[in-house]
């Protein structure tokens, strides 16, 4: 048997483990992230800081602080811009490291633990959700569907629901392997909430998680996946926002041979799109960009049917765009 080289060992650890530094606050300081507050919980500590990705994703500094890191699971989350993921991604992003380098960096910061990728589910009585929690919601009314260019049938296929009390859209957030309900995203005019707070939406995708095929389409908005489905576009998934995590990209790569990146045509969307391309093209995933050259719309949901189909059908490789 061929001996395993140290590099292989780091590589396989990096592929499967979600390493968390022993001293999370110390590791955050070493990444240049100042912990401004600590919240003690029964089984962990939550570290609050200014979001390091805020400026890149939104064009503004985070003044709140909106960024929170769980000391037990290492999962981080910005309540404002949606930047979220396992600790190792913070190291990759902060230091410009690849997965293996980031793992080695964490290992150098003392003993580390590995925790399950999806971490412990939020577990207090008021935040525990089950399939019965969705009983409050109904299929979206036909008029709301018409306004957004989706069909009741497409909503049904993708599990899109409606809160009749608030007249908001409901997008269930499910375990990508088992389909178990983790929570949902609720969206209305000037209203946006993930429930329960801190639900690990960046570890799953919205869409038909049983789908696999040649070309998938990655969008920001969950509703736009139903729009794409209604237009006959296969394999549409949403990352629940502009930020796309490593875990979400791994889920996509397992389901398709080609990917069309359909992030919104705005600062946050284009920054996210370029970052995904730079990170994943070398991993052997061919990608094209949704074509916005014929429209001033910022996403698929803002386009008429013909423009939306044209944006999809004329998706291009990035180098073709720089003519
Ligand atoms: Zn942020």
DSSP labels, 254-291:
TTEEEEEEE--SSHHHHHHHHHHHHHHGGGT--EEE--
120 in a domain, yes or no? no
* Residue 20 domain boundaries: 6-114
Contact 78, 65 (CB under 8 A): no
Contact 18, 87 (CB under 8 A): yes
How many angstroms is it from 211 CA to the middle of ligand 1?
A: 31
How many angstroms is it from 83 CA to the middle of ligand 1?
A: 6
Q: Are residues 278 and 315 located together in one domain of the fold?
A: yes
How many angstroms is it from 188 CA to the middle of ligand 1?
A: 21
How many angstroms is it from 74 CA to the middle of ligand 1?
A: 17
Q: Are residues 195 and 316 located together in one domain of the fold?
A: yes
How many angstroms is it from 53 CA to the middle of ligand 1?
A: 5
How many angstroms is it from 12 CA to the middle of ligand 1?
A: 30
Beta strands 236-238 and 19-21: pairing type?
unpaired
Q: Are residues 161 and 269 located together in one domain of the fold?
A: yes
How many angstroms is it from 210 CA to the middle of ligand 1?
A: 31
How many angstroms is it from 90 CA to the middle of ligand 1?
A: 12
Provide the CATH number for the domain around residue 176. Answer: 3.40.1360.10
Q: Are residues 194 and 261 located together in one domain of the fold?
A: yes
| pLDDT for the residue numbered 121 | 42
How many angstroms is it from 205 CA to the middle of ligand 1?
A: 20
Task: Report DSSP letters for 309-322, one per residue.
Answer: HHHHHT-B-HHHH-
123 in a domain, yes or no? no
Q: Are residues 168 and 311 located together in one domain of the fold?
A: yes
Q: Could you tell me how many residues make up the chain?
A: 323
82 in a domain, yes or no? yes
| pLDDT for the residue numbered 284 | 85
| pLDDT for the residue numbered 278 | 87
What does the pLDDT profile of the chain (323 residues) look like in tens digits? Answer: 444 455 556 555 555 567 888 889 999 999 999 999 999 888 789 999 999 988 877 778 888 898 999 988 888 888 877 788 889 889 988 888 887 888 889 888 766 666 544 444 444 444 578 888 898 899 999 999 999 999 999 999 999 999 999 999 999 999 988 899 999 999 988 788 888 877 888 889 999 999 999 999 999 999 999 999 999 999 999 999 888 888 899 899 999 999 999 999 988 888 889 889 988 888 888 999 999 999 999 999 899 999 999 999 999 987 754 44
Residue 126, token pair as written in the block = 């008021």
Contact 133, 181 (CB under 8 A): yes
Task: Give dist(CA 84, CA 188) in Å, integer.
Answer: 22
The dihedral formed by the CA atoms of 104, 108, 110 and 111, expressed in degrees to the nearest 10: 30
How many angstroms is it from 82 CA to the middle of ligand 1?
A: 6
Provide the CATH number for the domain around residue 86. Answer: 3.90.580.10
Q: Helix (H, G, I), strand (E, B), or coil: what is residue 157?
A: helix
92 in a domain, yes or no? yes
The number of domains in the chain is 2
């Amino acid at each position: 048997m061929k001996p395993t080289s140290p590099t292989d060992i780091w590589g396989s650890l990096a592929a499967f483990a979600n390493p968390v530094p022993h001293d999370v606050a110390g590791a955050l300081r070493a990444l240049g992230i100042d912990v401004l507050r600590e919240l003690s919980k029964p089984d962990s500590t939550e570290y609050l800081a200014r979001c390091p990705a805020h400026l890149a994703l939104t064009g503004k500094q985070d003044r709140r602080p909106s960024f929170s890191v769980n000391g037990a699971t290492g999962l981080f989350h910005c309540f404002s811009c949606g930047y979220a993921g396992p600790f190792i991604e913070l190291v990759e992003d902060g230091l410009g490291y690849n997965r293996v380098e980031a793992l080695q960096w964490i290992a150098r910061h003392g003993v580390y633990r590995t925790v399950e990728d999806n971490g412990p589910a939020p577990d207090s009585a008021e935040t525990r959700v089950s399939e019965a929690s969705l009983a409050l919601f109904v299929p979206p009314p036909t008029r709301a569907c018409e306004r957004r260019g989706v069909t009741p049938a497409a909503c049904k296929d993708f599990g899109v629901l409606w809160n009749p009390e608030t007249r908001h859209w409901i997008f269930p957030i499910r375990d990508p392997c088992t389909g178990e309900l983790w929570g949902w995203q609720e969206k209305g005019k000037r209203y946006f909430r993930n429930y329960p707070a801190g639900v690990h939406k960046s570890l799953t995708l919205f869409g038909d998680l049983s789908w696999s095929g040649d070309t998938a389409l990655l969008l920001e908005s969950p509703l736009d996946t139903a729009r794409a489905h209604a237009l006959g576009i296969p394999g549409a998934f949403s990352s629940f926002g502009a930020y796309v995590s490593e875990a979400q990209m791994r889920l996509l790569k397992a389901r398709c041979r080609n990917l069309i990146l359909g992030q919104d045509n705005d600062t946050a969307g284009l920054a996210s799109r370029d970052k995904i391309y730079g990170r994943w093209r070398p991993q052997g995933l061919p990608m094209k960009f949704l074509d916005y050259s014929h429209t001033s719309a910022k996403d698929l949901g803002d386009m008429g049917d013909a423009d939306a189909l044209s944006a999809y059908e004329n998706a291009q490789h990035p180098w073709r765009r720089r003519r």
